[in-house]
Amino acid sequence: MKTRGERDIIFFEGMTLAALGQEDGAAFVECLLKRQEVCERLASSSVEIDAAVAERFCCNEMMVIERLEEERSKLLSEIERYSESRRALRSYSPKFPLPPVAALFSVKK
C-alpha cells in the first residue's frame, strides 16, 4: 500500500500532465488549481522525492510555465482587441454620429 506522500506525488504529476493535455485555457488553469492543495501538502511534508521524479517534475513545471506564458499573451491580446473595439464604439457614439464638416455650415458675412 502506498503512503499518502506517494499518492500525492502520483496525483500531482497526473494533474500536471492532465493540465498540459487540455486544449482550452480555462480547463488548463482549472487543472492547475485542483493540484494546488496537493502541492501545498507536498511542500509542507517531509516526503523525499527521487532524483528522477524531481527531474520529471522540473520538466513538467517548465512546460506549465511556457503554457501559462502562452495563455497570458492570448489573454492580453484579447484584452487589447476588446479595448480597441470599445474605443471605436465610444468615438462613434449616438451623441455625435457624424463629425462636424465645414461644408454643412453656412457662414454669414
Of how many residues is the chain composed? Answer: 109
Q: For 10-14, 22-26, 78-82, 95-99, which range has the lowest pLDDT when averaged over its residues?
A: 95-99
Radius of gyration of the chain (CA): 26
CB 38 within 8 A of CB 8: yes
Express each pLDDT in 7-52 by its tens digit: 889 999 999 999 999 999 899 999 999 999 888 888 888 778 889 9
Q: How far apart are the first and last CA of the chain?
A: 100
Whole-angstrom distance, CA of residue 9 vs CA of residue 56: 11
* pTM for the whole structure: 0.70
